[in-house]
Structure formats: C-alpha cells, structure tokens
A and B are shown apart, each in its own frame.
Chain A
Amino acid sequence: MKSFFRMSYPYILWIALFIVAPMVMILLYAVTRSGNGTITFSFTMENFARFLSDPTFLKVLWTSLRIAFLTTVFCILIGYPAALFIAGLPEKRQTLMILLLTLPMWINMLLKTYAWRGILMNFEDLSSEIRVFIGMVYDFLPYMIIQIHTAIAKLDPNLKTAAYDLGANPWKTFLKVTLPLSVPGIISGITLVFLPAVSSFVIPKLLGGGNYVLIGNLIETYFLVAGDWNFGSAISLIMALIIILSMYLTKKLDTTAKEE
C-alpha cells in the first residue's frame, strides 16, 4: 500500500511550487517596500497603514462588502423557495430542473455578463450599483439554489412524515424540521456567493461602466496599471483576511444555531 502513496509525490511537488510558493510571495510582497521588481527584504507595515488610513480605499472596501452582502441576501431570498419547490417535485423533474439550472453555469461568465450589458441598455435610468447588483445576483443565484437543494433533498423523507405524525402542520414542519436542517446548505451557499462577490471585478467593470470600483478593481489597478505589487499584495491580503473572518463568523453562527 505504501507504493501507492508514492504516486502523490509529483503533485505534492506541484502544489509546493504553484500554490504554496505563490502564496508566500503575496505575503512577502505585502510586508516589504517596492524594489525594482525583486524583493528588497526591508520589512514594513506601511502598505497596510496606507490602505487603512485612506478614506477612499475604505469606501471601496465598504462598497464591496455591502454589495456582496446584498447579493448574498437576495440569492438566499430568491433561491431558498426555488430550492424548496424543486425538492418537492417528482424525482425525474427534479433532475431536469437541476440540469436546467446547471447548464448556464457551464457557459462563460464573461459572455453572460456581456449579454446583460446588452439587456440593460434597454433600461437607461438604472444606477451603476443596481446594474452590478443584478449581474451579481444573476451570476451567483444557481450556486445558492443548488447548495440549498442538495441539503433539502438529502433529508430523510421520514422526518417530514414523523413531524406530521406528531401533529405538526406543513408550515410548522417547515419551520421546525426542514429549515433548521437545511442551514448547512445555506451556509455553503453563502460561501459560494459572498466570497467571489466580494472579490469580483469583471461584473463591476462590464456593467458598472468603469465608475463603479470594487476592491477587485483596486487590486487590478495596482498590479496592472500602477505596477505597485507591494501595495496590491497588501490589498489582496486584507481582502483575504476579511473573507476568512466572515467565513469563520458564518461557521460559528451555524454551530451556535445548532447548539441551541
């Protein structure tokens, strides 16, 4: 059996080179001053200080968090009933619905966003924020529905029967049985929506018309336009930290909810 384990050596080498080393690079760049393309190894916290002391940057951060939060909330509000109703369909139609939901996910996101740009041309008086918001909800909604549906579909149907048997009406059964047990699905849905929404930079660029800047656009600018990799790395590190923190809080919320 040990000989089988050796088969993973090439991949372990690969991840060391292409996953771990690059991550370390971001970390290094974030805490150093800019040199001529190479790292000069003079450690500093000023990249972080610069971000956190400038109201313009903080406003961008706030906008990103706000729109990601709103997107997540709307995906849950629209997606939960959809997932629940799909789970109530006969098995064959459930499979069909899921297939129909997955199909657009396989189509290039840029192309779909581009199509929205065309559709939204018909509505000239929408603000940039609304346009970006529609694009984001559109892009992430299927992920939310599928996550929640998976959680609901794998519930033992006997649970519902048992609840009815114990005298709960359908609404009570939903509140006391289905909803709490589908929380893990909502949580993984949140992970799949909030996380990419915070860091998104294509949708704001294509639908927001260039004057709607999110933190992803900021990172892009500092890397590709300004060429300040140190500051760009610091921003992405701050973003990563916020994402990790929010994921941690969501998980925590989930476990406390379960304990109660």
Chain B
Amino acid sequence: MGKKKPAWHFFTSGYLILVLLFIYLPILYVVVFSFNDSKSMISFEGFSLRWYEAMLENREMLESVKYTVIVAVIATVVSTIVGTIASIGLSKARPLIRSVVMEINNLPVLNPDIVTAISLMLLFLSVKIQRSIVTLTLAHITFCIPYVILSVMPKLRQLDDNVAEAALDLGANPWQALTRVIIPQIYPAILSGALIAFSMSFDDFVISFFTAGKDVQNISMYVYSMKRFNPSVNALSTLIVVAVTIVLVLANLIPALRERKNKKEEY
C-alpha cells in the first residue's frame, strides 16, 4: 500500500500503545498492589506477600473459588457434550427447524444477562425448587451450551458434506462415521467451545447472583458482596491473570506447534 511516512507510523503505534495501556491498566494495578505491604489502594509501600497469605486464610474466599471451579467444570463438560451432539444433529436438520432452534439458541447470548437470570429464577421459584448449587449449575449449563453450539456449528457446516457420506460409502455405520470421521475433524472447534464455556461459567456474575442459593457463592458473587475493601482480592486476581495468560498462550501455541510437527513429517 505504498510507503508509509515514519511520522504516521509513529502516530499509529503510539495510539495502539495508549489503547493497550488503558486496557491493561487495571490488570497492572492489581498485580502491583497485590504485593503491597500496606492495605492502601493508593500508595505502594514496599513489597510483601502478606495478601497472598491472607487469601489462603480467608475461608469464604477459598470456598467461593471452590464453588466457581466445581460449577465451571460440570457446566463445561455437560454443555460441551450436549452442545456438540446437538450441533451434529442440527447440521443435518431441515433448514427451517435448524433456523428456529438456532434463533432460540441465540436468545441467551443476545438477551441481557439480567433477563436470562430473572427468567431462570422465576422458573425455579415457580416450580418450587430451592435455589442451590444444583440450580446454579443448571443455569450455567443453559447459558454455556449456546456458546458451544456457536463454536462447533460453523466448523460442522464447513465440512464437506460428502465426507460423512464417504464414510458410509466405505461401510462405516452412522456411529462409526461420527466417531471416526466427523468428531476428529471438528475437535478443535469443540475444544474452543469448551474453553469459551468454561470462561463464561467461571466469570459469570449476573446469572449466578439470581439463581444460586444463599449458601453458595462464586468468586464474582463474593467480590460483589464484600463490605470492605480487601487487598486479598488483588492477590486472587493476580493468580487468575497468570492462569488465564498461561491457558491462552498454550491454546494459541499448541495448534502452531502441531502444524510445525506435521510439516516435519512431510519431508
């Protein structure tokens, strides 16, 4: 696109760096202040690990982490299985049925969280189910499945229709065609669907807030309900930031590495 003037290059890079700074400001902030020696949120008064120790002694906070992980794992496993199976079924459905189901499927994605939240709460209340970790998990599965489907469906529709037919043609029954041909081809999409589902469940506040019982709370609910400012939250956030970074880096590196390995095998 022609030669760019250095001044323009300088300007665009500067702009992008400013945007990144803005986006990373709170993250840098929590990481730095998690090592603060004082309770202050304004001035840094020396390095210490006291808030990490405080975190480990904070039963309520650890409890919330536990519930968050349990619910996220169950919701991820269930929604990935149900969502994948549903996507495969829907990809072979008549266009009309498929589009109706997809419209409904998109509702929890497009609806404001609070509407989904109160709708589920009303459902549980009106059939007199006590809100508990069970209702919380059901709610999470409900809003996670659509993300799995949205991730798997496009990949499925990209598949050459003939590939499944070719498997049948070569004598595979429908189950064999599914496990030996279809799933191996879409599993990257299934994995990324699962990743999205996990993160959706892990980070959710609004829907959990309305559907969980009084005795369960996840990390978001814990932070929301905190009366006083507690720097242990910074320590927890820092650990989450580190975990997310590792997972994302791996998720982006593994496919690249595998490709390199494949290429090596070529020659």
Interface of chain B, helix or strand or loop or mixed?
helix
Q: Does the CB pair A18–B123 fall under 8 Å?
A: yes
A85 in contact with B107 (CB, 8 Å): no
- Is B138 an interface position by the 8 A CB rule? yes
| Chain B, 175-224, CB within 8 A of any chain A CB | 178, 199, 202-203, 205-206, 210, 219-220, 223-224
- Residues in A with CB closer than 8 Å to B41 are 118, 121
The yes or no answer to A57 lying at the interface (CB within 8 A) is no
A110 touches B224 (CB 8 A): yes
**A115 with B118, Cβ < 8 A, contacts A11-B85, A11-B86, A240-B112 known:** no
Bound together, the chains give a CA A141 to CA B93 distance in angstroms of 37
Contact B113 A104 (CB under 8 A): no
The answer to whether B237 and A115 touch across the interface, beta carbons within 8 angstroms, is yes
B244: Cβ under 8 A from any A Cβ: yes
Within 8 A of A (CB), among B144-190: 145, 174, 178
Q: Closest residue to B104 on the A side, CB-wise?
A: A15
* Contact flags A46-82 to B (C-beta < 8 A → 1, else 0): 0000000000000000000000000000000010011
What is the bound-complex CA distance between A3 and B175, given in angstroms?
Answer: 10
CA distance A114 to B245 in the complex (A): 19
The CA of A191 and the CA of B91, in the complex, are separated in Å by 26
* A14 smallest CB distance to B (angstroms): 7
Give a binary string over B134-149; 1 marks a CB under 8 Å from any A CB, 0 the rest: 0000110010010000
Interface size on B, residues (CB 8 A): 78
Main SS class of interface, A: helix
Bound CA–CA A124/B105 (angstroms): 44
A12 contact set on B, CB distance < 8 A = 86, 101
Q: Are B145 and A25 in contact (CB under 8 A)?
A: no
**Pair A103/B248 contact, Cβ less than 8 Å:** yes
Which one of A4, A14, A107, A160 lies within 8 Å of B82 (CB-CB)? A14
Is B126 at the interface (CB under 8 A from chain A)? yes
Give min CB distance, A138 to chain B, whole Å.
Answer: 7
Q: Which residue of A lies closest to B119 (CB)?
A: A22
For B110, the chain A residues whose CB sits under 8 A away are 191, 195
Q: Does A225 contact B (CB under 8 A)?
A: no
25 A-B residue pairings within 8 Å (CB atoms): A3-B174, A10-B82, A11-B90, A19-B104, A19-B142, A22-B122, A25-B119, A78-B19, A81-B15, A85-B12, A101-B23, A103-B244, A107-B27, A110-B203, A111-B30, A111-B223, A116-B26, A118-B41, A121-B42, A141-B19, A164-B2, A202-B224, A219-B118, A229-B118, A240-B111
Would you list the 9 A-B pairs with minimal beta carbon distance, nearest first?
Answer: A8-B89, A199-B112, A11-B86, A7-B89, A22-B119, A115-B26, A4-B92, A118-B41, A85-B12
Contacts A85-B16, A196-B112 known; list 6 others, CB within 8 Å. Answer: A8-B90, A106-B248, A108-B220, A108-B223, A138-B23, A198-B112
Residues of A within 8 A of B (CB): 1-12, 14-15, 18-23, 25-26, 29, 37-39, 78, 81-82, 85-86, 88, 97, 99-104, 106-112, 114-119, 121-122, 138, 141-142, 145, 157, 160-161, 164, 170, 191, 195-196, 198-199, 201-202, 205-206, 216, 219-220, 223-224, 229, 232-233, 236, 239-240, 243
Binding site for A on B (CB under 8 A): 1-2, 12-13, 15-16, 19-20, 22-27, 29-30, 33, 41-42, 82-83, 85-93, 101, 104-105, 107-108, 110-116, 118-123, 125-126, 138-139, 142, 145, 174, 178, 199, 202-203, 205-206, 210, 219-220, 223-224, 229, 233-234, 236-237, 240-241, 244-245, 247-248, 252
